Amino acid sequence: MSLLEKDFEAVIFDSIRTSSLYVEFDDTDGSYSKGAYSREYHCDLKLLASYIQKTQPIAWRKVQAQYPGHEAAAVAAEIKKLRPKRGLLELLRNGFSLAGVGKVELVTFKPSTGFNPAHRQKYEANCLAIVRQFHFSNDRPNDAIDLVILLNGLPLVTMEVKNEFTGQTWQHAEQQYRKDRSANDPFLRACVVHFAVDNTTISMTTRLENGKTRFLPFNRELKNPPIEDNFASAYLWEDVVVDGMVKPGVLRADSLLDLLQNYLHFERKEDEETGKISTALIFPRYHQLDAVRKLLSEVRVRGAGDNYLIQHSAGSGKSNTIAWLAHQLSNFF
């Protein structure tokens, strides 16, 4: 019996939802995004409230006093107002001030050391959720994205999943984003990255521009080599062993939070002809992420002082790889 697209989608969903910091959340009929999820605020109000209550009890009591009966909605309304101005990434990293409450934080990143148990407890209070068949649009309520990941109630990642065994590939997923996913949709604009995924190949983009949307490869090599007893693209959603080394699943909680904390950034470019300045959110390609994590792993085991040769082809993002590595080595314990 051949593997259907919904079965492949279920493989990814089941692997991620049972991992650390993800809530047990089974929604196969799409009812969640039609009900419990607030399309008005693009936020799961319950997950947002739960995180703030656990990590910032004093701030939450002030929210209760200031906005009785609609606490989470008041916080979400401020996020919605600030997101177009500051961007979700900046809000996650720095929080924001809410009138009558003070500073509100939306995520806790992993501590560099184990010296502060309270920080570790706050980190473990992060709540991620993965949702199947997510109905994201008010204008097109029947349209659904295959998989969506939320962090403390806020949408972060979308995935369109295709199955080669039924004649669909990552290229069909890319076309789905270009043709059927409006770049002006507020939900899609709120997310930081979109993945086109099939059994062997992955590509991604941080900016939807309708028919002009540009995807970048997110493969381990030019083409993904096989992974024993698994899909060649499995490194996206689960830990895999390659050449005797454990590679953490990219969308596992520790990995995804690490990406938000240490890798994602906005890059400003000036057009040489027009002088126009544009900004783009940079999400590392897999070879960049792998290079940095390999070197950090080496330093943990061997300490400082060794020399390494990193093979990067022209145009493959050497500058960003160097910057990400230098930044994290400067905070290394």
CA distance 44 to 153: 4
What residues form DSSP beta bridges with 230? Answer: 227
**Is the alpha carbon torsion for 273, 275, 276, 279 positive or negative?**
positive
The mean pLDDT value for 10-21 works out to: 94
Residue 41 pLDDT: 93
Give the pLDDT band (50/70/90) at residue 31. low
For residue 22, what are its two tokens?
């993800």
**Which among 241, 170, 175 is positioned nearest to 212, based on CA atoms?**
175
Give the pLDDT band (50/70/90) at residue 78. very high
The mean pLDDT value for 119-135 works out to: 94
Look at residue 1 and tell me whether its pLDDT is greater than 50.
no
pTM: 0.93
The mean pLDDT value for 55-72 works out to: 96
Convert the pLDDT of each residue in 211-256 to its tens digit.
999 999 999 998 999 998 999 999 999 999 887 888 899 999 999 9
Give the pLDDT band (50/70/90) at residue 28. low
**Which among 134, 176, 145, 146 is positioned nearest to 5, based on CA atoms?**
146
Mean pLDDT of the chain: 91
The mean pLDDT value for 259-274 works out to: 87
The mean pLDDT value for 311-318 works out to: 85
